[in-house]
């Protein structure tokens, strides 16, 4: 029997003659990534293991992105700790103002190539499947083992194949694709599985859209979300990396646990209502919901594509009084590109705040916390109770067009109601 794409990647990184779903194997890492939250815990664990040096400084990346800018003395101490540790270990360190949100930075700086294994101290490391890599989030103890030995234990996941047909319509984005998948699977339906996105609709998605889709695979409980590498991938990586890679696909006779089909031609904007990424509804079902804050950014939807979509809505318009809007580019490079294209000027003229790249408000750390009872529309990936602030606050997850339209209207509306051009 043949192998799935995920099985092929794991087999190439394990000392095993064959692998099958459920097997537990030791997997070698091509990249180990950690940040200002998971890093310090992993460093301490590594010390308790009696290991003084990382296994290979060239394969370790540390990114300051969660408490950026440092909001208090404690978070400043974390930044100081990871900076000093990175310098002592000789690993790559993206400090404040020099990188951005880890998953975007690793992709755009060429750390990720198809067929590679990326172990990250963050649950959204699955984002890297957009480039055909096996990216998976690990706890700090496992990251400590990866830092020390470059390996981790992995249960070989089964595969849920998601076939995408058609093409994205007006005001529909990669965010809606993954919300549609979660609507079918639920938040636990992908447990012990990899989501593999195939079909002409998948091949038509840009890398920015693929990043948005892969990023939220974990919200279905999945180990990762992965796109087979293709010409779109090759074009994106051209000039970004000199790392060797080859394009692989699942064998025709590989074992697929489940198949889903999504017709992009008929897909309309979706939202995830409070307080679960699995509480999916058509946008029409929540129209008129009053909005206190709009947050456009995060590792799932802070790309230049998302910023262009938001700017299209906000250009020549104003954020409604009583509603505040925040725009957070996912990286310094995206921020610079948004400046060059005049997008930042559009945001500022509309009355929106523009932040340095940060995970801040997304996980309730800083830079945009919600008050008790407030409602937000956010392009982020999680909307658990109290995720961005008060226990009684509510977050609606949506794409950038929907979020920007809510900022203008002060309530959830169809983007077409602001821009014209229909509802989908």
Three-state DSSP at 286 gives helix
User: Domains in the chain: how many in total?
Assistant: 2
* pLDDT score recorded for residue 1: 84
Are 277 and 234 within one domain?
Answer: no
Are 197 and 280 within one domain?
Answer: no
- Structure token digits, residue 8: 């092929």
Is 250 part of a structural domain of the chain?
Answer: no
Q: Which of 209, 232, 264 is the last residue of a domain?
A: 264
State the CATH number of the domain containing residue 232. Answer: 3.30.499.10
pTM of the model: 0.97
Are 296 and 166 within one domain?
Answer: no
Is 248 part of a structural domain of the chain?
Answer: no
Is 246 part of a structural domain of the chain?
Answer: no
Are 160 and 186 within one domain?
Answer: yes
Are 60 and 85 within one domain?
Answer: yes
Are 325 and 389 within one domain?
Answer: yes
Q: Which of 264, 299, 316 is the last residue of a domain?
A: 264
Are 151 and 277 within one domain?
Answer: no
Are 67 and 140 within one domain?
Answer: yes
Mean pLDDT by 10 residues, the chain (424 residues): 96 97 98 97 97 98 96 95 98 96 98 98 98 97 98 98 97 98 97 98 98 98 98 97 95 97 98 98 98 96 98 98 98 98 98 96 91 98 94 97 98 95 46
* pLDDT score recorded for residue 421: 56
Q: Which residues contact 293 (CB under 8 A, 6 or more apart)?
A: 323, 324, 325, 326, 368, 370, 374, 375, 376, 377, 378
DSSP string, 324-377: EEEEE-SBHHHHHHHHHTTHHHHHHHHT-EE--S--GGGGTSSSSPBPTT-EEE
* Contact in structure between 281 and 273 (CB atoms under 8 Å): yes
Q: Which of 177, 215, 32 is nearest to 118 (CA)?
A: 32
Which one-letter DSSP state was computed for residue 290? Answer: B
Are 223 and 331 within one domain?
Answer: no
Are 218 and 296 within one domain?
Answer: no
Range of the domain at 359: 273-419
Is 249 part of a structural domain of the chain?
Answer: no
* pLDDT score recorded for residue 424: 38
């Amino acid at each position: 029997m043949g192998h799935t794409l995920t099985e092929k990647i794991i087999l190439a990184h394990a000392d095993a003659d064959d692998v099958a779903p459920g097997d537990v194997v030791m997997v070698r890492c091509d990249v180990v990534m950690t940040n200002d939250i998971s890093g310090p815990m992993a460093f301490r664990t590594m010390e308790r293991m009696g290991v003084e040096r990382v296994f290979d400084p060239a394969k370790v990346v540390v990114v300051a992105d969660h408490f950026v800018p440092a909001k208090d003395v404690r978070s400043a101490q974390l930044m100081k700790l990871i900076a000093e540790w990175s310098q002592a270990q000789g690993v790559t360190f993206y400090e404040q103002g020099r990188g951005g949100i880890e998953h975007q930075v690793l992709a755009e700086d060429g750390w990720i190539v198809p067929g590679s294994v990326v172990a990250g101290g963050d649950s959204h490391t699955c984002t890297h499947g957009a480039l055909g890599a096996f990216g998976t989030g690990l706890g700090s103890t496992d990251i400590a083992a990866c830092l020390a030995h470059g390996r981790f234990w992995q249960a070989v996941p089964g595969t849920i194949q998601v076939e995408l047909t058609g093409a994205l319509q007006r005001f529909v984005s990669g965010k809606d694709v993954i919300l549609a998948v979660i609507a079918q699977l639920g938040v636990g339906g992908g447990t012990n599985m990899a989501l593999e996105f195939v079909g002409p609709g998948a091949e038509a998605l840009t890398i920015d859209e693929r990043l948005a889709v892969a990023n939220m695979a974990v919200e279905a409980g999945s180990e990762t979300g992965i796109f087979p590498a293709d010409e779109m991938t090759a074009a994106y990586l051209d000039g970004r990396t000199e790392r060797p890679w080859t394009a692989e696909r699942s064998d025709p006779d590989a074992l697929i646990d489940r198949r889903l089909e999504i017709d992009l031609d008929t897909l309309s904007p979706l939202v995830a209502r409070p307080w679960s990424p699995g509480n999916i509804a058509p946008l029409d079902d929540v129209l008129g919901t009053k909005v206190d804050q709009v947050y456009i950014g995060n590792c799932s939807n802070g790309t230049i594509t998302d910023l262009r979509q938001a700017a299209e809505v906000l250009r020549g318009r104003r954020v409604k009084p009583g509603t505040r809007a925040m725009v957070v580019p996912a990286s310094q490079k995206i921020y610079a590109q948004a400046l060059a294209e005049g997008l930042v000027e559009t945001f500022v003229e509309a009355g929106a705040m523009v932040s340095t790249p940060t995970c801040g408000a997304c996980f309730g750390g800083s830079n945009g916390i919600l008050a008790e009872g407030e409602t937000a529309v956010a392009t982020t990936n999680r909307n658990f109770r109290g995720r961005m602030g008060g226990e009684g606050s509510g977050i609606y997850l949506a794409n950038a067009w929907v979020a920007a339209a809510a900022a203008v209207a002060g309530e959830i509306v169809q983007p077409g109601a602001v821009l014209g051009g229909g509802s989908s």
